[in-house]
Structure 1
Amino acid sequence: MDGTLLVKALMALSPVVLLLMLFDRLDVFNVIRMRTILALLGAGGAIAAFSFIANWRVMDGFPIGMGNYSRYVAPVVEETLKAAPLLWLFFHNRIGFKLDAAIAGFAIGAGFSVIENLWYLFTLPDTNVSAWLVRGFGTAVMHGGATALFAIISHEMTERQAEASAATYRFNPLLFLPGLGVAIVVHSAFNHLGGQPLLAMAATLLLIPATLFLTFARNDRAARQWLKTDQARHIQLLADIRAGHFADTDAGHALTALAAKLPTQRASALMQHAELNIEMVLRAEELILAAQEGGSVAITDADREKLQRL
C-alpha cells in the first residue's frame, strides 16, 4: 500500500471508528461490553456486503436511474437492513439505557461504513483525497448516526409503552417504524446533497455528533436518577427485612410461600440469600454512583466474603 492510499484509508475509516470509541468511553455503566461492540461492528460489515447484492437486485426493479435510486430507494433498503440486529437486541431485552441503544446503533453503522469504504478503496483507488475526506467524515458518520437515531427513537417508543403498561408489555414491531422513518429521511437527505459533498459533510459533522452528545447528557442524568431511586428502594427493603416487616410485603408473601415448601434448613438459607442479595446490590449501586461522580470506593475483604457466600 503506497502512502497516498494509506492516507485515503485513514480518512475513510478512522473518523467513524474514533467516534465509536469516544461514545463507548461515555458509557459509565459499561453495559455493552467490547466483545458485543465488536460483534455489532461485524454485523454491520456483513450487512454492508449483503446490501451490495440487495441493492443490485432491487435496482433492476426500479428503472429510475442511479441518482434517484440512491436518494429514494437505497436509504430504505440499507436502513432496514441495519435495523435488523437492533430489533434482535430489543426483542431479547438486551438494551437498557438510551446510551447503550445509541452505541449499539452507531457500531452497526460504523461496521457498515468500514466495509463499504474498503470496497470503494480497492475498486476506486485513484479517486482523489477530497472524496475520501467526504466519505470518512460525511458518509461514514451518517451511516453510524442514522442507525443510532433509529435506536434512540425506538428506545424512547418502547420505554414509553413499558412505563404505561409494564405488566402487559409485548414486543411490538410497529413501535420501531418512527425510528426507521427518521433514519431513512436522514440517509436520503444526505444523498440529496450528492452535488454538494462538502455541505453534506459539514451538516453531518455538525448535527449527528451534537444530537448524540445531547442524548448522552440526558441519558446520564436519567440513569443517575434511576439508580438513586433504585438504591433508596433497596435500602427500604433491607430495612424491612431486618425489622421483620418484609413478610408483610407482596415480595415477602411470595418468598414466605416458597420457603414454606422447603425443609427448615433450606428455607432459612433462602431468606438469608434474599437479604444477602439485596446487600450486594446496594454495594454495587454504591460503587457505580461513586464512579459516576469521579470518586472511588475500594472493594473490601468483607465484600468478597459476602459474594462468596452468595
Structure 2
Amino acid sequence: MSTHFLLEAPVGLLPVLAFLATLLHFDSYRLVNLKEIVGCLVAGLALAAAAYFINGAILQLLAINVPTYSHTLAPAVEEGLKATAVLYLFLRNRIGFMIDAAILGFAVGTGFSLFENIYYLHAYEGANIGVWIVRGFGTAIMHGGATALFALVSQSFIEEKGAPKPVHFLLGLLPAIALHLLFNLIADIPLLPTAVVLFGLPPLFYLTFSKNEHAVHQWLVDDYKSHAQLLDEINSGAFRHSEAGRFILELSRKFSPAMVEDVFTYLKLHTQLVLRAEQLALARERQEAVEPAPQNAEDLRVLHELEKRIGASAMMALWPHLHFSRRELWEMHALYGA
C-alpha cells in the first residue's frame, strides 16, 4: 500500500462518512438505528458493484464514450439503482418521517460512493490530491444527497397523499436524477460541483430536520393519547361495543367465528407495542435513558403468530379498520432496533 494511497484514501472516503455521522447526531429521536445504517451502506456498496457492470454493458451496447454517457444516461441508471434500496425500505414500512427518509437515503448513497471511490483509489493511484478533494467532498456527498432527495420527495408525497403509489416514487426520482445530471454537466469546472453540493445540501437537511422535528413531536404526542384511549377502551370492553368494534366483530365472523378473539387479542397487543415505542421516542426527545421493555421481543413473536393464524386475506380486509397507519408499522419496526 503506497504512501499516496494512505494520504488520499481519507480525503476520498471520510467526508461523506462524516456528513452521515452529522445527520445521525441531529436525529434527536433516534429514528434510525446502527443496524439500519449498516444495512443501507451494504446495499449501496452492492448497488455500486452492480452499476459498474450495468454501465459497462450500456457503454458497449450503445458504443458511446464515457463523457457522453455521464451527461445523459448515467444519472438515471445510477439513481434508479440506488432508489431500489430506499424503495424496499418504504415498502417494508421502515421509513416513517422526513428525518429517517433523509438519513437512510443518504446512507445508501454513501455506500454507493464508498465503492466508487475505493475503486478509483486503486485504479488511479497517480491522481493528484485535487481529484480526491473533488471526489470526497463533491461526488461522494452528491451521491448521498441525491438518494436522500429521492427519499425526501417520495416521503413528502406519501405524507400529503396517504398510501404510497408508484407515481410518488417516480416523482421523487426526478430531482435526484436532476441533481446528479447537473453535477456531471459542471464537473469540468474546477471545484464548482463540490461548492454546489457543500453549500446546497446542508441548508436543505437543516430545514428538513428543524421543520420535521416539530411534526414528529406533535404526531407522537397526539398518537400516544389516541392509542392510550384505545387501549383503555379495549381493556374495559367498551371498544367491542363501538361502531369500529362491531364492524371488526362482524368482519371477523365472516371469515371464521374462532377468529374473533384472535383479532381482538391482536388489536390489544399491537396497541400496547405501539404505545411502548411512542413512550421510548418521547423519552429520547427528553434525553432520558430508558431501556426498551424486556417483553418486546416475545410480544412481537406472539403478534406475528396471531397474524399467521388470522391469515393474509383476513388481515388485508381487517387492516383498514384497525386504527393503524404506516407510521404505526414503522414504530413497530423501531422496537426491533431499540
Indicate the TM-score class for this superposition, using the shorter chain for normalisation: 0.7 to 0.9
Deviation digits for residues 227-268 of structure 1 (CA, Å, limit 9, x no counterpart): 011012123334445666433324443676779956xxx96x
Distance 1:306 1:65 in 2: 55
Aligned-pair distance for 1:273? 8.5
Q: Letter of the 2:240 partner, please give it.
A: A
Large movers: runs of 4+ above 6 Å: 255-260, 269-277, 303-310
Aligned-pair distance for 1:149? 0.3
Mapping of residues 195-274 of structure 1, within 5 Å: 195-241=188-234, 245-253=238-246
- Correspondence 1:176 to 2:175: no
Mapping of residues 1-310 of structure 1, within 5 Å: 1-162=1-162, 169=163, 172-241=165-234, 245-253=238-246, 278=271, 281-282=274-275, 284-296=277-289
More moved, 81-90 vs 10-19: 81-90
Aligned-pair distance for 1:298? 7.6
Aligned-pair distance for 1:109? 0.8
Q: Letter of the 2:195 partner, please give it.
A: A
Deviation digits for residues 86-133 of structure 1 (CA, Å, limit 9, x no counterpart): 222222333222222222211111111111011110110110011101
Aligned-pair distance for 1:12? 0.3
- Preserved CA contact (<8 Å) 1:287 1:296: no
Q: Letter of the 2:154 partner, please give it.
A: S
Q: Letter of the 1:197 partner, please give it.
A: P
TM-score normalised according to structure 2 size: 0.76
- Preserved CA contact (<8 Å) 2:153 2:172: yes
> Which residue pairs with 2:319 in the alignment?
none
Q: Letter of the 2:142 partner, please give it.
A: M
Distance 1:147 1:125, change over 3 A: same
Q: What's the C-alpha RMSD, in Å, of the aligned pairs?
A: 3.2
Distance 1:121 1:78 in 2: 20
Distance 1:250 1:24, change over 3 A: farther
> Which residue pairs with 1:165 in the alignment?
none
TM-score normalised according to structure 1 size: 0.82
Quick one: percent identity of the two aligned structures? Answer: 39
Distance 2:298 2:51 in 1: 49
Distance 1:140 1:279, change over 3 A: closer
Aligned-pair distance for 1:61? 4.3
Distance 1:195 1:102, change over 3 A: same
- Preserved CA contact (<8 Å) 1:62 1:69: no
Q: What's the secondary structure of 1:72's corresponding residue? A: coil
Larger Rg: 1
- Preserved CA contact (<8 Å) 1:280 1:307: no
| Residue correspondences, number | 297
